[in-house]
Amino acid sequence: MENKVTKIGVLTSGGDAPGMNAAIRAVVRTGIYNGLEVFGIMRGYSGMIENDIVPMHSRSVANIIQRGGTILKTARCKEFFEHEGRKKAHANLKKLGINGLVIIGGDGSFRGAHKLSQEFDIPCIGLPGTIDKDIAGTDFTIGFDTAVNTAVEAIDKIRDTADAHDRLFIIEVMGRDAGYIALHSGIATGAENILIPERKTDIEELVNGLLEKERRKKLVNIIVVAEGDRGAEDVAAIIKERVPSADTRVCVLGHIQRGGAPSCMDRLIASRMGYSAVESLIEGRYNVMIGIVNNKMHYTPLEKAVKAKQKISEDWLKIVKILAS
């Protein structure tokens, strides 16, 4: 790889996450402070292939730290999965003299970055930007804290109406392959049941638990379901058949969890990670994902970051079982 990075590109890829703008801001301003030229790559890898790349200045990132979404836009790019697509992307980078990249996204984004780096010898740094918190090598991902707090606020409001009507609410939160949003929001709101894809749902146990609660006259129940488990509608259909006396309602929170102003925590970790990404490129620490573990910066090789998934510990599952009884 080239000895010295002088021009860097920053992009956001995959699903948007609150705090991405804070990370972009940190990358741009840290780069400029250190005398680097910084370019924003629009719409992720699609913009790299289509040469939709713009110079970034300090004022380009003014007044964005509090905004959700991403000013660079984001997209999923099938063409980048192919070698020819990556070759076209690299040619555009080379024309502009960009010799370092910061990629803000999830494991799919890191997989693309790793291939680009391997094939064309360009230094890449990954920042974990995903609300799912499903990447190993960091205690938190950019956007997770905001998404969980959004879910908590919504579930708290739903509990008020559930309590008023003695209803059972099944609330679906995001998390196709990871149950962290469901787990954290469910514990924080006192959910009676939490269903996550990491653990096989025992429907008999769920139904028997609801029948037992009904005998105790506990009629207000909240079940939080990660979308990757069974889905709220499927769970509701089973409960309506097996526990017909329960006044059951379904609420799918959906994309509300992706939007909104990032929390203080997401702004802080995004800023730290963005700053560290540029420092890593300057210091010659290439092809790593930057995370925060035990409040310290942690560097995971990109090839490991795309293979390892954050695992939910048994302690969390035990807490759920005890506190929801």
The burial of 63, by beta-carbon neighbours within 10 Å (0-12 exposed, 13-18 middle, 19 or more buried), is given as exposed
How many degrees, rounded to 5, is the angle at CA 12 between CA 67 and CA 258? 50
Q: Are strands 37-41 and 53-56 parallel, antiparallel or unpaired?
A: antiparallel
Instruction: Count H helices and E strands in the chain, helices first.
Output: 11, 11
- In the chain, which residue ranges form alpha helices assigned H by DSSP? 20-33, 44-49, 83-96, 107-120, 144-165, 180-188, 203-215, 232-242, 264-283, 302-305, 314-323
Query: What is the C-alpha separation between 146 and 244, in angstroms, rounded?
Result: 36
**Are 292 and 138 within 8 A, CB to CB?**
yes
132 is catalytic: yes
Query: What is the C-alpha separation between 98 and 120, in angstroms, rounded?
Result: 12
C-alpha closest to that of 44 among 7, 16, 5: 16
Half-sphere exposure of 15 (CA within 13 A, CB side): 22
Cα distances from 88 to residues 96, 97, 118, 247, 259, in angstroms, run 13, 14, 15, 57, 32
Query: What is the C-alpha separation between 318 and 325, in angstroms, rounded?
Result: 11
Question: How would DSSP label each residue in 131-153?
Answer: TT--BTT-S--BTHHHHHHHHHH
With a CB cutoff of 8 Å and minimum separation 6, the contacts of 180 are 132, 133, 134, 144, 148, 310, 312
What's CA 206's distance to the chain center, in Å? Answer: 29
Candidate list 16, 107, 132, 266, residue with the active-site label: 132
**Mind telling me the catalytic residues?**
132
